[in-house]
Amino acid sequence: MAGRNRTGKIEKPKDAKRTLRRIAAYTMRYRAAFAVLLVCTLASNAGNLLGPAFAGKAIGAAVGEGNVDFPVVAYYAKCMLAAYLFSNLLSFLVNQGMMRLGRRVANRMRRDVFDKLMALPVSYFDRNQAGDIISRVSYDIDVVTTCISADLVQILTGLVTVAGSLAMMLVISPPLVACIAVTVPASILFTRSMSRRTRPLYSKRSAAYGTMNGYVEEMFSGQKTILAYAYEDGVCREFSAINQAAADAYCAADTLGMRTGPTVNLFNNLGLSIVGIAGAALYMAGAAGMEQISSFVLYSRKFSSPINEVANILNEIYSALSAAERVFALLDEAEEPADAPDAIELRDVQGSVEARHVSFGYVPGKTILHDMNLTAEPGRTIAVVGHTGAGKTTLINLLMRFYDVDSGEIYVDGHEVRAVTRDSLRRCYAMVLQDTWVFEGTVFANIAYGREGATMDDVVRAAKAARIHDAILRLPKGYDTVINEDGTNISKGQKQLLTIARAMLCDAPMLILDEATSNVDTETEQKVQTAMRELMRGKTSFVIAHRLSTIQNADRILVMDHGDVVEQGTHDELMQKRGAYYALYAAQFE
C-alpha cells in the first residue's frame, strides 16, 4: 500500500537489499572491530546455549530414580550460573563495542554527506528546503546509526541463537522439532507480508519529518516578519496541518508495524503449547525423559524468543532503512559537473568579460535570458538594473558558473568560462550580497574568511575601508567579539558592512555587488559608497542595484526587462533617451 507525500507523489517501496548492502559497506570499513565483536557475540551465544543443557541435566538428577543427587544438581546449577554470567559479560562488552562502532559510522557518514553537500551544484539547494537537508544530516543518520548500535546486536544474537537452538533441539528430539515446523514458517511468512506493507509507510514518515523540519527552519528564520505582520495564528495553523500530517504518517507506520510483534508472539506460544502436549505424550510413552523434555522446552523458548524480538524491532529496522535511503539519495545526487579535462586555470586576470548571444532558463522550455550580449572592459563598472524578475541575479549566476548557459558563450580575458576551472573562475570574483551571511565566530574570523592567512593589520585596514572599524571597537571584545549563530548580537547594517570588509580583504580582480548597501542608513551609505569606489578602482565590477542613486557613476548601465537587455549606456545617455531607464528613475524619485 503506497502513500502519497505532500506533493502528491506516490511513495513506493525502495530497494531494501541495496540499502542494506550500502549500510554494510559503511560498517565493513571497520571490519577488524566488527570481526572482534562478531567473535564475542558467538562466544556469548555459546555460553547462553549451554544454560538449557545444564538446566536439563540438573532437572534430570533431581527427578531421577532413587534419591535426589544434590551434589550433581549443585554442580550443574553452578555450571549453568557460570555459563550465563560469561554470556552476559560478553553481551555487555558487545553492546558497548557496537555503540562505539555506531558512533564511528555516524561520524564517517556525516563527513561523506557534508563533503557531498560541498560538491553539489547551487541548483540542488535551490530545489530543496534547508530544513529537509538538515533532517537528513542529523535525524536520518541518527536513526541509521542507532539501528547499527542496538538492533544489529539483536539481529546477530538472534541468528546465532536460532541456529544453535535448532541444532540442539534436533539432537535432543527430532519428533518434537516437527511440532514447531508449522508455527515458525507461519511467523516468517507473516513477517515478510508485514514488511512489504510497512516499508513504504516508513518512507512516507521520513519524508513527512523532512517537510516539517523544513517548515520550522523557514519560520524561525522569518520570525520577525511573522511578528511584524501579526501572522502568528496563521503560522500555527499551517504548522498544525504539517505536524498532523507527520503525526499521521508516524501513527500509520507504527500502528501497522506494531502488529507484527504480538502476532508473532502468538504463533510462538502456540508452538510452545504444542511442544508441551507432545512432550507430555512422549514422556508418558517412555520415549523421552524429563531431562530431554525440560531442555527441549527451554531451547524452544530460546528458538522463538529471537524471532519475536526481531518482529518487535522490525518497525525500527524499516524506519532505519527509509532514513538510510534518504541519506543515500543525497549521496547519489549528481555533483557539479567536473571541469573539462583540458580546462586551464585563470591567472593574472585583467577583468575583461564578454557574453555573446547567451540564453538560459532554470527549467527546460522556460527561457529567462534571451540572446543577451554584454561587454565589460577591464576596470569598468557595469550596473544592472530592472524590475524584480528581470534576470539580474540570473546573470550573476552565469558569470560565477553556478549554472551553465543553455546557448551562447561567456568569456573572461578571452577564455570561454567552460574551458577554465570553476575554482579559478570563482576566485576571480569577490561578492557582497544583499542577503548578508555571517557565521558563529569572532569578528576577525568573519572578515578574514575570504583570505587565508590574513593578519590583524590586514583585517583592520579592510574594516576601516568599509567604515566599520569604529563600530567594531565599541563591541565588548572588539575584533575578538564572538558573533552568535544567527548574528543577532550585531545590527543588520553592521553585518552588511562586515561582508563588505570581507570583500575588500579578498582583493579579487572582479567584484559582484548585489544591492550591497541596502541595509545601511543614508549617512553610512555615503561613507560606504566612498569606500566602494576605492574598492572598485581598477577592478571590473558588476553592480545589481535597486537604488538608482548608487549607480549614477557606473561606466555602463544595463537595463533588463524579462530577460532582455532593453537599454544600455551611461546614466546621462539613458536619461536623455527617456526610455525604460528614465521611467525607472522617475518612478523611484517621483
Return the pLDDT at 90: 86
**Are 126 and 263 members of one domain?**
yes
Question: 426 CB contacts (<8 Å, ≥6 apart)?
Answer: 400, 401
Kindly report which listed range (7-11, 42-46, 118-122, 580-584) carries the lowest average pLDDT score: 7-11
Instruction: Check: CB of residue 201 under 8 Å from CB of residue 256.
Output: yes
Kindly report which listed range (199-208, 353-362, 395-404) carries the lowest average pLDDT score: 199-208
Return the pLDDT at 12: 36
Q: Could you tell me the CATH number of the domain that includes residue 17?
A: 1.20.1560.10
Rounded CA-CA distance 544/563 in Å is 14
pLDDT per residue over 435-457, tens digit each? Answer: 777 888 899 998 988 787 889 99
Tally of structural domains, the chain = 2
Q: Which residue has the cell 511442544?
A: 275
Indicate if the pLDDT at residue 180 is higher than 90. Answer: no
Rounded CA-CA distance 568/124 in Å is 33
Residue 268, Cα to own-chain centre: how many angstroms?
40
DSSP-derived secondary structure for 136-160 = IIIIIHHHHHHIIIIIHHHHHHHHH
Instruction: Check: CB of residue 295 under 8 Å from CB of residue 50.
Output: no
Partners of 558 in the β-ladder: 384, 568
pLDDT per residue over 356-391, tens digit each? Answer: 999 999 888 888 888 888 889 998 899 998 887 778
Residue 379 domain flag: no
Comparing C-alpha atoms, which of 430, 249, 424, 449 is closest to residue 346?
424
Indicate if the pLDDT at residue 497 is higher than 90. Answer: no
**Are 326 and 439 members of one domain?**
no
Number of neighbouring beta carbons within 10 Å of residue 412: 24
**Are 322 and 439 members of one domain?**
no
Residue where a domain stops, chosen among 312, 331, 350: 331
Return the pLDDT at 116: 92
Indicate if the pLDDT at residue 8 is higher than 60. Answer: no
Rounded CA-CA distance 587/74 in Å is 101
Predicted TM-score (pTM) above 0.95: no
> Given pLDDT bands bounded at 50, 70 and 90, which one contains residue 3?
very low
pLDDT per residue over 243-255, tens digit each? Answer: 888 888 878 777 7
Residue 75 domain flag: no
Residue 515 domain flag: no
Q: Could you tell me the CATH number of the domain that includes residue 443?
A: 3.40.50.300
Return the pLDDT at 228: 66
| CB neighbour class for 450 (10 Å; exposed up to 12, middle 13-18, buried from 19) | buried
> Given pLDDT bands bounded at 50, 70 and 90, which one contains residue 68?
low
Residue 191 domain flag: yes
Residue 516, Cα to own-chain centre: how many angstroms?
31
More confident residue, 590 or 381: 381
Return the pLDDT at 308: 64
Residue where a domain stops, chosen among 308, 331, 354: 331
Q: Which domain holds residue 228?
A: 12-29+102-331
Question: 429 CB contacts (<8 Å, ≥6 apart)?
Answer: 399, 400, 508, 510, 511, 512
Residue where a domain stops, chosen among 331, 359, 382: 331
Indicate if the pLDDT at residue 217 is higher than 50. Answer: yes
Rounded CA-CA distance 498/442 in Å is 11
Q: What is the mean pLDDT of the chain?
A: 80
Comparing C-alpha atoms, which of 553, 556, 461 is closest to residue 501?
461
Instruction: Check: CB of residue 14 under 8 Å from CB of residue 203.
Output: yes
Indicate if the pLDDT at residue 345 is higher than 70. Answer: yes
Q: If you average pLDDT over residues 563-581, what whole number do you get?
A: 88
Indicate if the pLDDT at residue 270 is higher than 80. Answer: no
> Given pLDDT bands bounded at 50, 70 and 90, which one contains residue 520?
low
Comparing C-alpha atoms, which of 514, 513, 522 is closest to residue 493?
522
> What torsion, rounded to 10 degrees, do the Cα atoms 481, 484, 486, 491 define?
-30
**Are 165 and 314 members of one domain?**
yes
**Are 110 and 251 members of one domain?**
yes
Residue 319 domain flag: yes
Residue 520 domain flag: no
Residue 516 domain flag: no
**Are 310 and 443 members of one domain?**
no
**Are 439 and 326 members of one domain?**
no
Indicate if the pLDDT at residue 459 is higher than 70. Answer: yes
Q: In this structure, is the dihedral angle defined by the CA atoms of residues 208, 210, 215 and 220, taken in order, positive or negative?
A: positive
Number of neighbouring beta carbons within 10 Å of residue 505: 21
More confident residue, 418 or 264: 418
**Are 267 and 141 members of one domain?**
yes
Question: 22 CB contacts (<8 Å, ≥6 apart)?
Answer: 324, 328
**Are 175 and 303 members of one domain?**
yes
The pairs formed by 373-380 with CB atoms below 8 angstroms and a separation of 24 or more are: 373/565, 374/558, 374/565, 376/351, 376/352, 376/540, 376/542, 376/556, 377/352, 377/540, 377/555, 378/350, 378/351, 378/352, 378/540, 379/351, 379/537, 379/538, 379/539, 379/540, 380/540, 380/541, 380/555, 380/556
More confident residue, 578 or 273: 578
Return the pLDDT at 553: 83
More confident residue, 205 or 542: 542
Q: If you average pLDDT over residues 168-185, what whole number do you get?
A: 75
Residue 519 domain flag: no
Indicate if the pLDDT at residue 282 is higher than 70. Answer: yes
> Given pLDDT bands bounded at 50, 70 and 90, which one contains residue 204?
confident
